[in-house]
Amino acid sequence: MSTASNAGPMTERVVLVTGAAKRVGAAFVRGFHAQGARVAIHFHRSSDTARALHDELNAQRADSAILVQADLLDSAVIPNIVATTIARFGQLDVLINNASTFYPTPVGAISVDHWDDLIGTNLKAPLFLAQAAAPHLAKTHGLILNMIDIHGQRPLPEHPVYSTAKAGLAMLTRSLARELGPEIRVNGIAPGPILWPEGGIDESLKQEIIAKTQLKRSGSPEDLVKAALFFAIDAPFVTGQILAVDGGRSIGW
């Protein structure tokens, strides 16, 4: 196993990412790790992909990544996610609330389970993770970064519960920035068309969405990683802000 230092601007810092086994979460983990950070990879069910990512990063730099398994809908275990990270690395510098559930809930077919799931993962879990992490982040003058959505500002058709949850997360971001300053900065990223749903999307709808961006193309997870690294490294005087990474989608609609 390599023991290369991979020194970078995040060297000696510790980053916890939720929903980190794949897609954007895995991109965050790889991006911060490449800048020297030690990383805690939270996952729920994606154990195989989480383990592969864990092994990949530790092969690059020994003892630089750990796995933390937990169901974010179980509020009782949320403090353990933070505690496990602290027990292994001794500190926490960045919490990225990335984990999310996303699916349509047309009015007339919304269930209590839909509400509990979408609100739970997209809003409730970030709040209680932030609360658990706050004492540790205060010691390092750390950062909470919430993954929001441009549809937290303007609702996505047939997704009223999801859109409401992300709107709540936008307000939570601003509220926590006020409550946790000056020791902790709290910011958000609101992606536009970056990754399409895992279940696929009709090609004509995809092209319609892309056409409504000002840049006439979709983005990539790396665009989100660059935004996150900006907040973590280059924006020490920025808090309570939400950056749309959407190719200009949110100004066109």
What is the end-to-end Cα distance of the chain in Å, rounded? 49
Q: Are 231 and 10 in contact (CB under 8 A)?
A: no
| Interatomic CA distance for residues 218 and 220, integer angstroms | 7
Q: Is residue 4 part of a domain?
A: no
Q: Is residue 3 part of a domain?
A: no
So what's the pLDDT on residue 197? 80
Q: Are 189 and 245 in contact (CB under 8 A)?
A: yes
Q: Is residue 210 part of a domain?
A: yes
- Say whether pLDDT at 2 is over 50: no
Q: Is residue 157 part of a domain?
A: yes
- Domain of 229 in residue numbering reads as 14-252
Beta-carbon-side half-sphere exposure of residue 128 (alpha carbons within 13 Å): 17
Q: Is residue 6 part of a domain?
A: no
Q: Is 162 known to be catalytic?
A: yes
pTM for the whole thing?
0.95
- Say whether pLDDT at 168 is over 90: yes
Cβ atoms within 10 Å, residue 44: 17
Q: Is residue 117 part of a domain?
A: yes
Least confident range of 4-8, 14-18, 128-132, 138-142: 4-8
Give phi and psi for 108, each to the nearest 5: 105, -20
Q: Is residue 68 part of a domain?
A: yes
Q: Mean of the pLDDT values across residues 97-109? A: 97
- Say whether pLDDT at 1 is over 60: no
Average pLDDT, the chain: 95
Beta-carbon-side half-sphere exposure of residue 140 (alpha carbons within 13 Å): 21
Out of 162, 170, 189, 229, which one is annotated catalytic? 162
CATH number at residue 183: 3.40.50.720
Domain count, the chain: 1
Q: Is residue 196 part of a domain?
A: yes
| pLDDT tens-digit map of 27-69 | 999 999 999 999 999 999 999 999 999 999 999 999 999 999 9
| Interatomic CA distance for residues 147 and 243, integer angstroms | 10
The residue type at 201:
I
